[in-house]
Every structure is written in structure tokens, then in C-alpha cells.
């Protein structure tokens, strides 16, 4: 069962020796996280390779003043190597991973991964390839933050989280929306008020309801 999980998630599995597989299987631990619990922070030491079985993890950066910008989320079935950033010495900045919802994950400890990574290039190749893929996502988001107006960003986010998923309601506070698009709550608040006045959405406590998808769509065309 655990072997099936690992071999499905990690394409380097078939490149491992029998000993390496046995070692990873033995050390891989099932870990549960409460909602809001910290999975990784650079001062916590090195976690390892995380494979999400259920729930949702959020990866973000924090400013000195405590402002957060979400970089990406890790969903069910997805691996995340950035909690093993201590193994990836090419990564020189701090990020935080926390459970956005209660989550379960299989964690391969960094201490076990390190010698295998050093002797088997396929493992390192996978890890760095994954890291590059995540950074590529982040770059896309950064381009949005740098280049796009906040109104467009709010509209796109609302669209993707409602109509784009076949839903009408987004259960999220304005603060959460702001953190998701890397903007300030005040900015999001202003855009949402405008959208509500236009009849595109209606606002409730901790939720946004889609009223006129066409109006919302026009904002980012």
C-alpha cells in the first residue's frame, strides 16, 4: 500500500535499487496536520519530501512585518520537494508551508533522502525538476502581481474559484482573497465593493456570491 503510493508519486522509484526502496519504505511516515499547522519553516530544520494524501497545503513567503504572499498550493496526490529545501542547496530563500486544511501526508525524511540523492542522480534530477516546476508556477503568478491591475487579478481569481469550478459561491474572507492574489485587503475590498455595485457579485460575511458571470468575465478580457 505504502509502496504503491510512493511508486505512483515518485517516477524515480523504478531507478532505485532494492535496498534504496526498502530504506525509503521503512522511513516514510504517515503524518497528520491540523488545519493551520506548520509543515515546514526554515528554522524548524528539514522536513523532507512530502506527498499529500488528503487536505491542502499552502506554500507562502512572509515579510519582516508579517505580510504573507501565497506562492502555490499542494493538493491531494501532489508531491512537494520544497519542504526538503535543506537538501536542495540551490534554494537560498525562506518559505513556509502550512496546512490550509487538515491534511495527511507521507513524508520521506531528509536524512534518509540525502545519501540516496547523492548516490542516485535520478532522485536529485526529480527533486530539482519538481522545484523548477513550482518556481515556474510562481513566476507566472509574480508576473500577474507585477504586471496586472488588482481589479483584473481579483476578477480572474473569483472567476476561477466560482464559474471556473462550476460553482456560484466562494467561501473566503477578503483577507484570504488578498493573500491568494498577493495584494492588500484594502485593495481587494475596494474591487469587491465595485463588483458588488455593478451587480457582478454579492458579498456576505466570509463569502462572495457570483451574480453576473458575464460582467465578471468582461473585467479580464
- For a second copy, the binding residues (CB under 8 A) are 61, 63-65, 67, 69, 88, 90-93, 121-122, 124-125, 128-133, 135-140, 142-143, 145-147, 182
Which 8-state DSSP code applies to residue 195? Answer: H
Q: Residue 38 CB, nearest distance to a second copy (Å)?
A: 19
In the complex with a second copy, the residue whose CB is nearer, 91 or 203, is: 91
Is the Cβ–Cβ distance between 75 and 121 less than 8 Å? no
Least Å distance, CB 221 to a second copy, is 13
CB of 157 to a second copy, least distance (A): 17
The minimum distance between CB 62 and a second copy, in angstroms, equals: 9
- Classified as helix, coil or strand, 28 is coil
- Which H or E element spans position 154? helix 150-161
At its nearest, how many Å lie between a second copy and the CB of residue 142? 5
Are β-strands 96-109 and 29-33 bridged in parallel, bridged antiparallel, or unpaired? antiparallel
Whose Cβ is closer to a second copy: residue 112's or residue 125's?
A: 125
Strand partners, 54: 104
Residue the block writes with cell 463588483 = 195
Which grid cell is 41?
Answer: 519553516
Nearer to a second copy, 95 or 200 (CB): 95
Taking the least distance from each CB to a second copy, the nearer of 2 and 129 is: 129
Burial 98-107 (b: 16+ CB within 10 A, else e): bbbeebebbb
Alpha-carbon distance 113 to 117, whole Å?
A: 6
* Residue among 121 and 199 whose Cβ is closer to a second copy: 121
Amino acid at each position: 500500500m505504502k509502496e504503491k503510493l510512493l511508486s505512483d508519486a515518485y517516477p524515480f522509484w523504478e531507478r532505485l535499487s532494492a535496498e534504496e526502496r526498502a530504506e525509503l519504505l521503512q522511513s516514510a511516515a504517515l503524518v497528520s496536520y491540523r488545519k493551520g499547522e506548520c509543515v515546514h519553516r526554515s528554522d524548524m530544520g528539514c522536513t523532507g519530501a512530502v506527498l499529500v494524501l488528503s487536505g491542502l497545503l499552502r506554500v507562502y513567503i512572509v515579510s519582516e512585518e508579517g505580510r504573507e504572499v501565497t506562492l502555490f498550493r499542494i493538493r491531494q496526490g501532489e508531491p512537494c520537494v520544497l519542504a526538503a529545501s535543506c537538501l536542495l542547496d540551490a534554494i537560498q530563500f525562506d518559505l513556509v508551508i502550512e496546512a490550509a486544511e487538515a491534511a495527511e501526508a507521507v513524508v520521506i525524511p531528509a536524512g534518509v533522502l540525502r545519501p540516496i540523492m547523492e548516490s542516485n542522480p535520478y532522485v536529485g534530477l526529480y527533486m530539482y525538476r519538481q522545484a523548477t516546476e513550482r518556481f515556474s508556477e510562481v513566476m507566472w503568478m509574480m508576473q500577474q502581481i507585477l504586471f496586472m491591475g488588482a481589479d483584473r487579478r481579483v476578477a480572474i481569481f473569483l472567476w476561477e474559484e466560482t464559474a471556473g469550478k462550476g460553482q456560484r459561491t466562494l467561501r473566503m474572507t477578503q483577507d484570504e482573497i488578498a493573500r491568494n492574489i498577493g495584494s492588500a485587503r484594502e485593495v481587494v475590498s475596494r474591487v469587491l465593493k465595485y463588483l458588488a455595485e455593478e451587480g457582478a457579485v454579492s458579498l456576505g460575511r466570509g463569502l462572495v456570491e457570483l451574480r453576473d458571470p458575464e460582467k465578471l468575465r468582461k473585467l479580464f478580457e
